[in-house]
Structure formats: structure tokens, C-alpha cells
Amino acid sequence: MDGVKHIVAVASGKGGVGKSTVTVNLALALSAQGYRVGVLDADIYGPSQAQMLGVKEGVRPQAAADNKFLPLEAHGIQAMSMAFMVNTRDAMVWRGPMVVGAFQQMLTQTQWDNLDFLLIDMPPGTGDIQLTLAQKVPVAGAVIVTTPQDIALLDARKGIEMFRKVNVPVLGVVENMSLYHCEKCGHEAAIFGTGGGDRIADEYDTTVLGRLPLTLSIRELADSGRPSVISEPDSSVSRTFAEIASKVAQSVSASQSGGPTISFSE
């Protein structure tokens, strides 16, 4: 893609595991390490990156030459989302082909400005948008976000299998909500179980990029439009995101050998 060196998909097999929160903080962590970073919110039905980046409702992208439009910028991140195109209070009652068409337009008609990394916040599942992404552009790798419990791991496995079928490298797994930490009393509890990230990483010969706690501040800061990495840069959560960002950048550099080829099996 013009203006983009590396595309990284951030995906999960199911919703509610904190994929979008991981995406925006990972983007900000990469930016803090000197990379030029963009975020494409591919969740057409439920876009959330606009709020997490603090973009006010009603702000629209400007038109550019050749029937393209310019991404918006927030916290040094270039961003494109369906939330910039429509009233976010309206339900997107669209069939699959319309959703895919909207995603393709954002993917191919956004004029990204010399990005090192474009992070794509994927919708849950393994459907049309995931397949369209793999067919349309060379994806450097995928980051899988999961929580430790077995139900989430079932769907995370499907996400890994899907990317493997289209020959997109899985860069690793982020285990979110791995440990609940009470910010008042300091008590810790493994609410969703333990070892889930390690089990799936061992099963698919990949790595655990990092483990993130279940804390109130991560949610509050993302909701406020100033995610943890910029609001609390010296916190343990931000340091974890910095470590994940470094591993992702190193993995992409090590594995990049041109775009993936597409293969299908019955």
C-alpha cells in the first residue's frame, strides 16, 4: 500500500477481550519508540477507535486528490474509522457486501503519510473483512488478543487458524485481563484463570508478547480518549505495552519477506 511499510492486524476470535484497547495502546507505544503509526478501525458495526483516540463526534476527514481522503490525527497517530463517516449513534444495518465495500474504501482510499506501521483493529470473528484484508494487501503479521479462560481460547484458536490459512504470520499472543489488581487494597486475583496465553502459544508455536492486568484505570483512560500509554507513561501497564511494541517491531523486521501468498484448503 502507498504510504505504508508494514501492516499488522490486531485480532481476536471473539468480542469483549480488549482488542481495541490493546490496538490503540500498542499504536501509541510504537509511536513513542519513534515509529510513524496509523490505526485503521475495521469494525464497521462497532467502531471504537475514534473515542479511544479522543476524536470528537462529528469530525470528518478532508478530501485529497485522486478520490482519496486524509486520515485524522490524534496523539501523533494517523487514524481512519467508520466513526468519522457516519453518525455514531446510528446503527449500521448493513449486509455483508456493504460492510466489505466500506472496509475496502477505507483501506485503499485513505492517503496514509509515510507510515512505518499501520495497525488494523479487526472486528471479532473470521469472516468477510478478515479474508478481504488478506486478499487485498500484504499483511506483515497478526497479533492475537485473548483472555486466559478456556472459552476465549476456543475462539482465539480459530483466529490463529484463519491467519495461517491465508499465510499471514502470527507474531504472538497478548493475554489481556490476566490478573485482576485492586487499585485500592492491592489484592490480586486470577479471575479468568491462569496460563491460557502460554497454552495457546505452545500449541501454535508462537510467543506470548505480554500480559496485561484487569485494572480500572486502563478502561477509564481508554474511554476518556487518553489511553494508558500517554496518560501514565511510567506505569507498569505502559511499560508492558512498550515491551509488546518492541517485540512486534522486531518480529516484523525478522519475518518480513514480501507480501503473503493466498492459499485455500477444502
Whether 136 has a binding-site annotation, put simply, is no
How many residues does this entry show for the chain?
266
Whether 17 has a binding-site annotation, put simply, is yes
Indicate the residue type of 186. Answer: G
Residue 135, all three cell numbers: 486478499
CB 136 within 8 A of CB 4: no
| C-alpha pair distances (Å), 128 with each of 104, 134, 135, 232, 240 | 11, 10, 11, 37, 32
Segment (H or E) for 202: helix 196-203
Read off φ and ψ for residue 90, nearest 5 degrees.
Answer: -85, 140
Whether 20 has a binding-site annotation, put simply, is yes
Read off φ and ψ for residue 95, nearest 5 degrees.
Answer: -80, 170
Whether 16 has a binding-site annotation, put simply, is yes
Assign 3-state DSSP to the chain and report helix, strand, coil percentages, each to 5.
40, 20, 40
Whether 101 has a binding-site annotation, put simply, is no
Whether 184 has a binding-site annotation, put simply, is no
Go through 44-79 and write b for each residue having 16 or more CB atoms within 10 A of its CB, e for each that does not. beebbbbbbbebeeeeebeeeeeeebebbebbebbb
Whether 14 has a binding-site annotation, put simply, is yes
Distance (Å, rounded) from C-alpha 190 to C-alpha 102?
40
CB 133 within 8 A of CB 139: yes
Distance (Å, rounded) from C-alpha 160 to C-alpha 119?
17
Cβ-Cβ contacts under 8 Å for 266 (sequence gap 6 or more): none
Whether 18 has a binding-site annotation, put simply, is yes
User: Residue ranges for the binding site for ATP?
Assistant: 13-20
User: Residue ranges for the binding site?
Assistant: 13-20
